[in-house]
Structure 1
């Protein structure tokens, strides 16, 4: 994408956002990181302490629900990475159309309008999710999930499965984003990570981190809900974002996924790794032989991207998350008590 090196990252203080900022700074980019409150040291300190942050990082106040709130941060940028998302919707069980419209839908459209105004943005990389792909009639009539599929919104409203409101929000928003991109000449690619695992640099946990450490912390409910899902290492997710921004041939939607989540296999491995934790290895109501339909990253790999962590077991990814948790909990136990809700739209 040429020699221009100024980009904006929304949701920069969150799990994926902060790791993406870290990788961009390491590669010499000047990063404009948008956060809700740049003055909240507890939520931005981990960004300011990153290598090259003193010379290549600036913090900008912006919120998804505020029209035009991203204008200043995006003006003059050659690239925009839209990572911010209302993750609190994952744990909501009631209809939330107002939240879906005010944050997820209006948020992406507001950011795209800011890109149009700037006239400098060469590409928008939008962090979607495999959730916009994998909700299909059961059993799915496919052997793998690909970018050609869209999740069935009516099915979400009918069954109200775990995380259904988040799936609805992201699906509606992504479809609207593609429509805007086509009508307004925005060069956009979307990245669709599955469950993101691995180390984190935030001072708090989020939903995917909580799932990864749940067997270790004995709060197994969250990982049980995700049994049979696909997963990916956070580092691969962030490197894929940058790869798709820089590659002039990138076009359309890209699944970013490399592992399957089998709670029985993960639990067995973790019980050996942490024998003092009495990690359970049997889970009532779950099928140990459940078939996992993979999310195919063939399109991404055909473009030339290589997964650095593909050869690891899913349990290895959980161990990396657990070790990050142990390190941070030993330094500041109170910070690990902050719920995922506090980091939503960060």
Structure 2
């Protein structure tokens, strides 16, 4: 079997069509062609929550039948738009190729991946997840009504689906959902030294959570081991240990953003 987990990812790209979107699609198809030639039995692909719920109005619950709105993404060009497009188009191309070539293909749809890491710099997902601490306001839209999974749970879901003979199609791997206010409250309680905002001027405090249903995955027997607090504390502690976050931050916006 083959696990296809890597993708070009540069939110600051000056030429996203040629630096992210086309390489993602072409890379996917090149891998699948090699898999067919080598008679690989199963391919497991790491997709993205960005393939599911990027649209003008959020639904209360999303599942594997949902696809993001490409026209909306193209017109709005929100933070990460080129990443969302590349993952959508690559996965759709993969499903078409797999069907035409009788290839056993499975896609796993993770939301925002949070937890410890081994690379020397902060992973893009944590730049987003920890944006209330760093005040990276351009990323607030992604966690306004976000969904989350611990890195270890996501890794185990890949192995679980690869090994399960009944697995087929798309699978959401989301452990929990939270609004930006839920995240901010938790971070203030765990890390008061970061003076995380209490208010976010563009978002209502009573907005509801948006759930990604992992029922298809858990019905097969998969169990998530980590909650939101685990994800964030392990991410923050790893960042601190690597010198990527200071031990405290002084802000002067009176606790609002």
Aligning the two structures, in what range does the TM-score lie when normalised by the shorter sequence? 0.7 to 0.9
Indicate how the Cα distance of structure 1 residues 220 and 159 shifts in structure 2: closer, same or farther if over 3 A, else same.
Answer: closer
Count residues in correspondence: 245
Given the alignment, which residue of 36, 39, 53 partners 1:134? 53
- Structure 2 match to 1:170: 87
Could you tell me how far apart the structure 1 residues matched to 2:137 and 2:89 are?
28
Residue 242 of structure 2, aligned match among 328, 335, 345: 328
Q: Distance in 1 between matches of 2:78 and 2:57?
A: 13
**Unaligned ranges ≥5, structure 1:** 1-78, 334-346
C-alpha distance in 1 between matches for 2:165 and 2:112 = 27
Report how far residue 315 of structure 1 moved: 4.0
Instruction: Give the structure 2 partner of residue 109 of structure 1.
Output: 29
Distance in 1 (alpha carbons) for counterparts of 2:175 and 2:46 = 17
Work out which of the residue numbers 215, 224, 244 in structure 1 matches 2:140.
224
- 1:82 has 2:37 as partner: no
Q: CA deviation at 1:156?
A: 1.2
Q: For 1:172, what is the secondary structure of its paired residue?
A: helix
Correspondence for 1:319: 233
**Alpha-carbon displacement from aligned partner over 1:81-116 (angstroms, at most 9, x marks no partner):** 10111111x445x77333345311000001111112
How many Å separate the matches in 1 of 2:119 and 2:136?
Answer: 22
Match of 1:57 in 2: none
CA 1:178–1:205 in 2, change beyond 3 Å: closer, same or farther?
same
Q: Does 1:264 align with 2:181?
A: yes
Which residue among 65, 71, 75 is the counterpart of 1:148? 65
Give the match for residue 101 of structure 2: 184
CA shift in 2, pair 1:256/1:139, >3 Å: closer
RMSD: 2.2
Runs of 4+ aligned structure 1 residues displaced above 4 Å come to none
Contact 1:96 1:165 in 2 (8 A): yes
Residues 139/254 of structure 1: CA separation in 2 closer, same or farther (3 Å cut)? closer
* Distance (whole Å) between structure 2 residues aligned to residue 95 and residue 298 of structure 1: 38
Contact 2:22 2:86 in 1 (8 A): no
Q: Which stretch shifts more, 250-259 or 131-140?
A: 131-140
TM-score (norm 2): 0.87
Q: If the length of structure 1 is used for normalisation, what is the TM-score?
A: 0.66
More deviation, 189-198/226-235: 226-235
Residues 315 and 189 (structure 1), Cα distance of their counterparts in 2 relative to 1, 3 Å cut: same
Do the aligned residues in 2 keep the contact of 1:95 with 1:165 (CA within 8 Å)?
Answer: no
User: Residues 252 and 202 from structure 1, CA distance in 2 versus in 1: closer, same or farther, beyond 3 angstroms?
Assistant: same
Write the distance in 1 (CA, Å) between the matches of 2:192 and 2:51: 38
User: 1:212 touches 1:322 (CA, 8 Å); kept in 2?
Assistant: no
Gap change, CA 1:91 and 1:112, over 3 Å in 2:
same
